[in-house]
Amino acid sequence: MSEPIHDLAHIGHAELLTPYADDSLRFFVELFGMEVVQRQGRSVYLRGWGDYQSYSLKLTESDLPGLGHMAIRAWSPEALARRVGVIEEGGLGIGWIDGDYGHGPAYRFTDPDGHLLELYYEADRYQPPPTLRPALKNVPQRFTGRGAAVKRLDHVNVLAREVATNRRFAQQQLGFRLYEQIVNDDGTEAGAWMSLTIAAHELIYVADHARLRGRLHHLAFFVDTREELLRAADLLLDADVPIEAAPSKHAVAQGMFLYVYEPGGNRVEVTTGTHFIYDPAYETVVWTQAERARGQAWGVKTIDTFHTYGTPDASGIATGPPIPPTSAIPEHGGLHP
């Protein structure tokens, strides 16, 4: 066995595409409690109170919802150079860009499924304005407590036509560690939970049943406690946000979850948990089809749309963007008007 790769530190930010930019922005500011740090072109840059960089979410107006790109920060300039070399050799490299708001030069490439990724090292540390300066100097920003008050981007879950191919790419070329996976009875892979740190997951691939390319399953934002997650459910319910899956606990990776749709049609999650993987030789936990059929940790059945819906939506791709925001998302009968 070769030595572990320690070149990449963590997922720095993700870009989310939305056909309803104003509504999505209002959602992330008022309901998820994020702060706007910059507006540039068709994009708005947003941060959670615990992000040490300027932002972790770039929200960009677009014809269709989905993932714009995902950016990973390297441990050092040397580590960045090493990874770029490996990716270029692997054939999925695109090339360098000068950077973006808040970070320096970035190398663009795709995973085998076609999701756009970037690697970078240089990044600005967030400097709060006086109104957001916290009392304690080891906190990047004042905790405002607005809405769900998410702390930071936690993980990115993308759909892929072939989980195995993308999973191997992330492990071998990027150095992600594979903590958990679902393997079907026929040997195909249904999902892979990977991380660059002791956090239970940062990047997840799940099988795209529509067999499309480059789609997003969801972005997840962290809160510190389960109580905050339950509180978020109350707030989002009152705000008429469609709740796809009410708060409960995942079997895989043990995270507490709450899934909703933001107005652009993208699934977003409020998550929390302290399931850390300290083992440097962690043996991947493999779940069978039968085990997965048992539902989530406490027996809650996973809702069907969780397995079928991603962005852009299969129908949306064929027919153009959804006309009203609510038509972009699956219907659920359980919501209170």
Binding positions for a second copy, 84-143, rule CB under 8 A? 121, 123, 125, 134-139, 142-143
Identified binder of a second copy from the candidate list 70, 206, 252, 329, rule CB under 8 A? 252
Smallest distance from a second copy to CB 97, Å = 20
The DSSP-derived string for 46-87 is: EE-TT-SBS-SEEEEE-SS-EEEEEEEEESSHHHHHHHHHHH
Smallest distance from a second copy to CB 298, Å = 4
> 298 to 317, contacts with a second copy by CB under 8 A?
298-301
- How many angstroms separate the Cα of 119 from the Cα of each of 7, 40, 213? 11, 21, 21
Identified binder of a second copy from the candidate list 48, 102, 147, 214, rule CB under 8 A? 147
Q: How many CB atoms lie within 10 A of CB 182?
A: 21
Give all strands (DSSP E) within the chain, no chain letters.
8-18, 35-40, 43-47, 57-61, 66-74, 93-97, 106-110, 116-120, 152-160, 177-183, 189-195, 203-207, 216-222, 243-249, 256-261, 267-272, 285-288
Instruction: Report the Cα–Cα distance between both ends of the chain, in Å, rounded.
Output: 56
Smallest distance from a second copy to CB 320, Å = 29
Indicate whether 287 belongs to the interface with a second copy (CB under 8 A): yes
Query: CB within 8 A of 279, min separation 6: which ones?
Result: none
- How many angstroms separate the Cα of 275 from the Cα of each of 51, 270, 308? 20, 16, 27
Smallest distance from a second copy to CB 95, Å = 23
Nearer to a second copy, 64 or 190 (CB): 190
Identified binder of a second copy from the candidate list 40, 188, 254, 289, rule CB under 8 A? 254
Q: Which stretch binds a second copy (CB under 8 A): 87-95, 105-113, 277-285, 306-314?
A: 277-285
Determine the Cα angle at 229 with ends 228 and 230, to 5°: 90
> What number of chain residues touch a second copy (CB under 8 A)?
87
Nearer to a second copy, 20 or 257 (CB): 257
Identified binder of a second copy from the candidate list 297, 305, 306, 314, rule CB under 8 A? 297
Q: Do residues 68 and 42 touch, judged by C-beta distance below 8 A?
A: no
Nearer to a second copy, 75 or 96 (CB): 75
Indicate whether 6 belongs to the interface with a second copy (CB under 8 A): yes
Smallest distance from a second copy to CB 130, Å = 12
Question: Cα–Cα distance between 46 and 21 in angstroms, integer?
Answer: 13
Smallest distance from a second copy to CB 241, Å = 10
Smallest distance from a second copy to CB 235, Å = 5
Indicate whether 318 belongs to the interface with a second copy (CB under 8 A): no
Indicate whether 63 belongs to the interface with a second copy (CB under 8 A): no
Indicate whether 276 belongs to the interface with a second copy (CB under 8 A): yes
